Amino acid sequence: MDVFTTQYQNCDVVKGSGRVDSFTAPKLAEVFLTLIKDGRFNFAFDMSEIDYISSAGLRVMIDIQKNCRQANRGELLLVNVPKRISETLELAGFIPLFRLFDNLENAVNVFKN
Protein backbone atom coordinates (compact mmCIF):
# COMPACT_ATOMS: atom_id res chain seq x y z
CA MET A 1 0.00 0.00 0.00
CA ASP A 2 1.15 3.51 -0.80
CA VAL A 3 0.04 6.57 1.17
CA PHE A 4 0.41 10.18 0.08
CA THR A 5 -0.53 13.34 1.95
CA THR A 6 -1.30 16.84 0.76
CA GLN A 7 -1.58 19.65 3.27
CA TYR A 8 -4.18 22.36 2.75
CA GLN A 9 -4.74 25.37 4.97
CA ASN A 10 -7.59 23.80 6.94
CA CYS A 11 -7.13 20.07 6.39
CA ASP A 12 -4.90 17.29 5.13
CA VAL A 13 -5.77 14.98 2.28
CA VAL A 14 -4.53 11.45 2.78
CA LYS A 15 -4.68 9.24 -0.31
CA GLY A 16 -4.08 5.54 -0.18
CA SER A 17 -3.71 2.98 -2.92
CA GLY A 18 -3.73 -0.80 -2.85
CA ARG A 19 -4.79 -3.03 0.01
CA VAL A 20 -5.31 -1.98 3.61
CA ASP A 21 -4.88 -5.18 5.57
CA SER A 22 -3.17 -6.37 8.75
CA PHE A 23 0.25 -5.83 7.16
CA THR A 24 -0.37 -2.35 5.72
CA ALA A 25 -2.82 -0.86 8.23
CA PRO A 26 -0.01 0.12 10.66
CA LYS A 27 1.57 2.22 7.89
CA LEU A 28 -1.74 4.04 7.33
CA ALA A 29 -2.14 4.58 11.08
CA GLU A 30 1.39 5.96 11.31
CA VAL A 31 0.68 8.57 8.63
CA PHE A 32 -2.47 9.79 10.40
CA LEU A 33 -0.89 9.72 13.88
CA THR A 34 2.10 11.74 12.68
CA LEU A 35 -0.28 14.43 11.41
CA ILE A 36 -2.23 14.35 14.68
CA LYS A 37 1.00 14.77 16.67
CA ASP A 38 1.61 17.89 14.55
CA GLY A 39 -1.75 19.25 15.76
CA ARG A 40 -3.70 18.49 12.59
CA PHE A 41 -7.13 16.90 13.07
CA ASN A 42 -9.12 17.56 9.86
CA PHE A 43 -8.68 14.85 7.25
CA ALA A 44 -10.14 13.89 3.90
CA PHE A 45 -9.20 10.27 3.21
CA ASP A 46 -9.29 9.71 -0.56
CA MET A 47 -10.04 6.02 -0.99
CA SER A 48 -10.47 6.00 -4.78
CA GLU A 49 -7.46 3.71 -5.26
CA ILE A 50 -8.02 1.44 -2.25
CA ASP A 51 -8.73 -2.06 -3.55
CA TYR A 52 -9.52 -3.79 -0.26
CA ILE A 53 -9.84 -2.97 3.42
CA SER A 54 -9.72 -5.54 6.22
CA SER A 55 -10.94 -5.27 9.78
CA ALA A 56 -7.47 -3.97 10.70
CA GLY A 57 -7.93 -1.09 8.25
CA LEU A 58 -11.42 -0.39 9.58
CA ARG A 59 -10.00 -0.23 13.11
CA VAL A 60 -7.46 2.36 11.99
CA MET A 61 -10.24 4.49 10.52
CA ILE A 62 -12.33 4.22 13.71
CA ASP A 63 -9.34 5.06 15.93
CA ILE A 64 -8.41 8.09 13.82
CA GLN A 65 -12.01 9.32 13.83
CA LYS A 66 -12.08 9.03 17.64
CA ASN A 67 -8.81 10.97 17.90
CA CYS A 68 -10.09 13.68 15.59
CA ARG A 69 -13.46 14.09 17.25
CA GLN A 70 -12.07 14.05 20.78
CA ALA A 71 -12.81 17.44 22.35
CA ASN A 72 -14.37 18.51 19.03
CA ARG A 73 -10.97 18.98 17.38
CA GLY A 74 -11.72 17.67 13.91
CA GLU A 75 -13.05 14.91 11.72
CA LEU A 76 -12.07 12.18 9.26
CA LEU A 77 -14.08 12.41 6.04
CA LEU A 78 -14.12 9.55 3.55
CA VAL A 79 -13.88 10.47 -0.12
CA ASN A 80 -14.40 8.46 -3.31
CA VAL A 81 -15.17 5.28 -1.39
CA PRO A 82 -15.33 2.31 -3.79
CA LYS A 83 -18.67 0.51 -3.82
CA ARG A 84 -17.25 -2.69 -2.37
CA ILE A 85 -15.69 -0.83 0.57
CA SER A 86 -18.86 1.20 1.09
CA GLU A 87 -20.78 -2.07 1.33
CA THR A 88 -18.27 -3.33 3.89
CA LEU A 89 -18.68 -0.15 5.95
CA GLU A 90 -22.45 -0.50 5.78
CA LEU A 91 -22.36 -4.18 6.73
CA ALA A 92 -20.13 -3.40 9.73
CA GLY A 93 -22.48 -0.61 10.81
CA PHE A 94 -19.81 2.08 10.39
CA ILE A 95 -21.56 4.36 7.88
CA PRO A 96 -23.06 6.58 10.64
CA LEU A 97 -19.55 7.22 12.01
CA PHE A 98 -18.29 8.96 8.87
CA ARG A 99 -19.38 11.50 6.33
CA LEU A 100 -18.85 10.22 2.79
CA PHE A 101 -18.15 12.41 -0.24
CA ASP A 102 -18.06 11.62 -3.94
CA ASN A 103 -15.53 14.31 -4.72
CA LEU A 104 -12.47 15.66 -3.01
CA GLU A 105 -13.25 19.33 -3.53
CA ASN A 106 -16.54 19.09 -1.64
CA ALA A 107 -14.85 17.29 1.24
CA VAL A 108 -12.04 19.84 1.51
CA ASN A 109 -14.57 22.68 1.42
CA VAL A 110 -16.22 21.30 4.59
CA PHE A 111 -13.20 22.51 6.54
CA LYS A 112 -13.15 26.06 5.14
CA ASN A 113 -15.70 27.29 7.69
Q: Identify the domain containing residue 73 by its residue range.
A: 2-110
Q: How remote is the C-alpha of 19 from its chain's centroid?
A: 14
Contact 2, 16 (CB under 8 A): yes
Q: Count of domains in the chain?
A: 1
The pLDDT score that the predictor gives to residue 100 is 97
Local mean pLDDT, 10-residue blocks, the chain (113 residues): 94 96 97 96 97 95 95 93 95 95 95 82
C-alpha 83/C-alpha 102 separation (Å) is 11
Q: What is the CATH number of the domain that holds 23?
A: 3.30.750.24
Instruction: Find all residues with CB under 8 Å of 47, minimum gap 6, and list them.
Output: 16, 78, 79, 80, 81, 82, 85
The pTM assigned to this predicted structure is: 0.94
